[in-house]
Amino acid sequence: MTELPEDVRDLVALDLSAAQVQDWSITGDSFSWTLLAGDADRGHELASLTYIGAVVLHTNRRDLDRAVAAAAEVDHAEVVRGDDGGFEHHVILVPSYPVVVRFWSVEVRRMPAPDHLRRVR
């Protein structure tokens, strides 16, 4: 994608391969979740993503709770432009939790994390 806003570029730049879902929340028109990204070789980091003007599709609260409990991992993630001028973050979690977040803007916060936060599935 060309000419992305800076906040969306920050999201696209994240390597979420095998990132584990740590927690999630919905407040008003925002959806947030924290993912543990990285591995033992590269080191781990917590990526806290807060989507503003968000609508979460293809999942529900129960599925998101199960994803946390199961230490679900990101199998695939991509950002696409929505038809309305916003964006969509398409995420496939293993074992088979498809999540689509429609949003207008996103806040990406990253911080180093200890290796012991990675849970065994």
Residue 53 has phi, psi (to 5 degrees) of 70, 40
- Residue 58 carries which DSSP code? S
Q: Would 34 be classed as within a structural domain?
A: yes
Tokens of residue 47, six digits: 């990526």
2: confidence class by pLDDT, cuts 50, 70, 90: low
- At 77-115, the pLDDT tens digits run 999 999 888 999 999 999 778 999 999 999 999 999 988
- pLDDT band with cut points at 50, 70 and 90 for residue 22: very high
- Containing domain of residue 47, as a range? 6-114
120 domain-assigned: no
- Structural domain tally of the chain? 1
Q: Kindly state the DSSP code that residue 22 receives in the 8-state scheme.
A: E
Query: Which one, of 77, 74, 84, 85, lies nearest residue 4 by Cα?
Result: 85
| Residue 119, in any domain of the structure | no
CA atoms of 47 and 11, how far apart (whole Å) = 10
Q: Is residue 93 part of a domain?
A: yes
